[in-house]
Amino acid sequence: MSQNVIIIDYGAGNIQSLKFALSRLGVEAETSSDVKTIKAADKVIFPGVGHAESAMEKLKETGLHLIIPELQQPVLGICLGMQLMCRFTEEGPTQGLGIFDVEVKRFETQLKVPHMGWNLIKNLKTDLFQNLPQEAYMYFVHSYYVPLNTDSIADSDYGCNFCAALKKHNFYGVQFHPEKSSQWGEKILDNFLKLAI
Amino acid sequence: MLTKRIIPCLDIKNGRTVKGVNFVNLIDAGDPVELAQRYAENLADELVFLDITATEEKRKTLIDLVHRVGKAINIPFTVGGGVSSVEDVSAILKAGADKVAINSAAVKNPDLINKLSAKFGNQCIVVAIDAKRIDDNWKVHLVGGKVPTDLDLFEWAREVEFRGAGEILFTSMNHDGTKNGFANQTLKKLNQILNIPVIASGGAGSIKHFEDTFTSGKADAALAASVFHFGEISIQTLKQELINRKIKVRL
């Protein structure tokens, strides 16, 4: 199945490993910041590493902050991408895109921050986690987290239980990096690619 | 709960692995891509590639290698060796690496850490520190441990965290190559004064050594080369044994 997958390019971080991961699944994704191209895609991936405030500014420069919440096709936010889909983040602090009505918080824990490395995700829901075991290890790198909320479709534990993935309508978000999370991360990306358009 | 990480390290020279490897069924043991793939399939949590040529004219070979490794493996990997500028880091990350390790360049120009962290995010900046105990002081060494400096290990570690390092890769030169275990007391102290992950390196010889560095040394990750390359310890066996000893690892 050939489909048109666009990775939103807003200058936030390195997306080569994501392209490589998609390529291993048979999809040659293009990166774009062009509104028309993004709107016309079958699937959209919204990646991001770095600081929320400067990332949000970059989205505003291109008007993408208005376009992303309007998208109709399946959209997958990864890491900072997921956090920016929320209403607000303490990082900055910064107003997000408001797709998910939840506030992103900084880890307040005795543990080291950032939360970096492999951790279990559990309570997996929706097609995004089809054919995964009940719990699976994913690779995380983040200092801010989304608290558990009504849109949670996976959670994890680092000093507290937090939301590891979210879903609302056509929007999905994952806090971990599926593109770097070995076979089960690959499976999640594959499941996303297989979602009905 | 976050797991402890096991990280094989591959020394690269002219785009090939050196120090030798002894993997069964590897057609060409010198090919870093094949080796990386094998480790990724065998439950390594991350990989580190250290380019020991690191001369200007060989950098293109390295970038090409990073690209091929990135295409092939689905776990994070770090590239280091002779990295000395924003341009170096940019090229390595663009080619597909997840993190970059800097060592001598950070000592010579500490501002580089701030610059790199601001530009690429602290999650991808690993500062490697080689140190040696001289009398009762741990002194930072450069150029693969050949050149001593006056820098105190603990002060330098604090400074690199403050400047924006995302992780510290600490190699004890007193332990490296001995296979007598990691520098756990020193690691424990580093761990107490830092709030970023510490990767233990130097001294791995047995499963017990890994157990000790996670329990006594409080290391977040352990790096080793020859015990993995020569098949003395398989990562699968190591991890199973660590789980038996109540240490959380990804299996």
pLDDT digits (tens, 9 = 90+) for A66-108: 999 999 999 999 999 999 999 999 999 999 999 999 999 999 9
| B121 in contact with A, Cβ within 8 Å | yes
**Beta strands, E only, chain A:** 5-8, 30-32, 43-46, 75-78, 86-89, 94-95, 100-106, 115-121, 136-142, 144-147, 152-157, 161-168, 171-174
Q: If DSSP states are collapsed to H, E and C, what string results for B182-243?
A: CCHHHHHHHHHHCCCCEEEECCCCCHHHHHHHHHCCCCCEEEECHHHHCCCCCHHHHHHHHH
Cα–Cα nearest to B114, from B73, B163, B50: B163
pLDDT at B110: 97
Considering the four listed CATH numbers 3.30.70.20, 3.40.50.10490, 3.20.20.70, 2.40.50.100, the one that applies to the domain covering B5-244 is 3.20.20.70
User: ∠ CA(A47), CA(A53), CA(A59), 5° rounding?
Assistant: 55
Give bridge partners of residue A43 from the DSSP assignment: A5
Distance CA B209, CA B195 (A): 23
pLDDT at B25 over 60: no
Asked about A70 being catalytic, the answer comes back as: no
Give the chain A residue nearest B99 (alpha carbons): A14
Determine how many CB atoms are found less than 10 A away from the CB of residue A98.
14
- Active-site choice (B130, B176, B212, B220): B130
B40: which chain A residues are within 8 Å (Cβ-Cβ)?
A: 182
Q: CATH number of the domain that A89 lies in?
A: 3.40.50.880
Where exactly are the structural domains of chain B? 5-244
Radius of gyration of chain B from Cα atoms?
Answer: 17
Local confidence band at B157 (pLDDT 50, 70, 90 cut-offs): very high
Give the chain A residue nearest B95 (alpha carbons): A16
- Angle of helix B207-215 relative to helix B235-244, nearest 10 degrees, comes to 50
- Active-site choice (A65, A79, A115, A142): A79
pLDDT for B77-121, tens place per residue?
Answer: 999 988 999 999 999 999 999 999 999 999 999 999 999 998 888
Distance CA A165, CA A144 (A): 14
Distance CA B250, CA A180 (A): 14
Residue ranges for chain A with pLDDT beneath 70: 1, 12-13, 197
Cα–Cα nearest to A143, from A14, A11, A49, A3: A49
Cα–Cα nearest to A156, from A110, A107, A193: A107
Burial of A131 from C-beta contacts in 10 A (0-12 / 13-18 / 19+): exposed
B196 Cβ contact partners less than 8 Å away, ≥ 6 residues apart: A112, A114, B122, B161, B165, B166, B167, B168
Distance CA B89, CA B102 (A): 9
Radius of gyration of chain A from Cα atoms?
Answer: 15
Number of domains, chain A:
1
The residue segments making up the domain with residue A190 are: 5-194
B75: which chain A residues are within 8 Å (Cβ-Cβ)?
A: 139, 180-182
Give bridge partners of residue A122 from the DSSP assignment: A155
Distance CA B225, CA B98 (A): 20
- Chain B contact probe: residue of A15, A16, A140, A175 with most B CBs at under 10 A: A16
What is the predicted ipTM? 0.92
pLDDT for B200-235, tens place per residue?
Answer: 999 999 999 999 999 999 999 999 988 998 888 999
Local confidence band at B247 (pLDDT 50, 70, 90 cut-offs): very high
| A186 in contact with B, Cβ within 8 Å | yes
- Chain A contact probe: residue of B42, B43, B98 with most A CBs at under 10 A: B98
Distance CA A69, CA A197 (A): 17
Cα–Cα nearest to B232, from B242, B224, B222: B224
Contact A116 B197 (CB under 8 A): yes
